[in-house]
Amino acid sequence: MKIIKLKSPAKLNLYLKVVGKRHDGFHELKTIFERIDLADTLRFTEMVNGKINIQCIHPQVPLGPKNLVYKVADLLRRDFGISQGVTIQIDKNIPVAAGLAGGSSNAAITLMGLNQLWRLGLGQKELVEYAKKIGSDVPFFLYDCSWALGTGRGDIISPMKIETKLWHVLVVPKMRMLTPKVYGAMNLKLTKFGDDVNILTRYLGQNDVVKIGSLLRNDLEGPISFLKPSLLKIKRKIEALNAVGTAFSGSGPSIFSVIESRKAAVEIYKQLKRQYRQVFIVKTL
C-alpha cells in the first residue's frame, strides 16, 4: 500500500492592498505572502475501493465535499478517470478559518500528494491552474519559496528571492470571520492611499526588521473592525507590547506581530498567553 506524508504550512500576509473590485465579484489584490512554520500534516493512503475518505478529528473541519481537500481529490479523480480511492488524514495544527489559509494550503498539498500517488504527471503550470479553481490562496503553496508577491485575486504568484526569516507572535482570537462578508464590507474609497510594496520588499531584502514592521498593511482591517469591533481592541492591546509592527492576516481574525528576536518574541508570547488561549511563536519557513 502506497503512503505519502507531507507538511502543509500556513501563511501570513505581511502586506495586503485591495486595489479594486473586479467584474467577477472578486477583489484585485497586491499582497506579500509569507510561508510560516506553523503546519498541518497530511497523510495520503491509496485505497482500492475507489472512495475518497477524509479523516480529521478537528470539530470544525468538514469531512465531505465542503472540505477543499475532498474537492481536489474529487476533481482529479473525475478529470483523470482514476478508479482508485484515497484516504487523506489531516493532522490539524493551523487554526481553522483564521486568515492563515490552512484549508487552502491543505488543498495545494493534496494536489501535489495526489499527483504523486496517482502518477498524474501534472507539471507546475497545470497544478497552478487546478489550484486557481479551488481558491485564491491555493496557488501560493505550490511554489517553493518563503516570500511571494500575489496579484490578481492573490492567485498570480511571483516568488521573491529573499533570505530574511522573521519572528512573529500570532494570536488567534476565538471568533469566526467569513471571508466573503469581510470583502463585502469593504469601502473601496478608503483603500486608495499609496502603495509601499516596493519599499517593503526592499526592506525585507535588507532584513531591516524595524522598517518592515512600520510598513505592515492590511486593507481588510477596516471591514474586520467594522464587523467585529472587539478584534480592533485586541489588536491595540497587542500593539502596546514591544513589537515593531502588528497587523491582521488575510480576512482575520488572526493578528500577528513582527518582533526583532526570538528572545523578545518569547517575552511577548508569555504576556499574551495569560490573556488568550491560541497564541503561537512562529517564524518564516
List residues with catalytic annotation.
Answer: 11, 137
Which phi-psi region, left, alpha or beta, contains residue 97 (left: φ > 0; alpha: ψ -120 to 50)? left
Whichever of 205 and 222 has its CB closer to ligand C5P, that residue is 222
Residue type at 101 in one-letter notation: A
If we measure between CA atoms, which residue out of 38, 28, 17, 6 comes closest to residue 170?
38
- Binding residues for ligand C5P, rule: CB under 6 A, are 26-27, 29, 135-137, 153-154, 179-180, 183
Whichever of 245 and 250 has its CB closer to ligand C5P, that residue is 250
d(CA 258, CA 253): 17
Least distance in Å: CB of 133 to ligand C5P?
10
Least distance in Å: CB of 18 to ligand C5P?
8
**DSSP-assigned letters across all residues of 57-125:** --TTS--STTSHHHHHHHHHHHHHT---EEEEEEE--SPTTSSS-HHHHHHHHHHHHHHHHTT----HH
Question: Is-contact 259 247, C-beta < 8 A?
Answer: no
**DSSP-assigned letters across all residues of 35-48:** EEEEEEEEEEEEET
Least distance in Å: CB of 200 to ligand C5P?
19
Strand partners, 31: 16, 150
Residue type at 275 in one-letter notation: Q
Least distance in Å: CB of 87 to ligand C5P?
25
Whichever of 102 and 245 has its CB closer to ligand C5P, that residue is 102
Whichever of 97 and 216 has its CB closer to ligand C5P, that residue is 97
Alpha helices in the chain (DSSP H): 68-80, 102-117, 124-134, 179-184, 197-206, 209-214, 221-227, 229-239, 262-273
d(CA 44, CA 27): 34
CA angle 212, 192, 194 (to 5 degrees): 40
Least distance in Å: CB of 250 to ligand C5P?
9
Least distance in Å: CB of 29 to ligand C5P?
5
d(CA 122, CA 182): 34
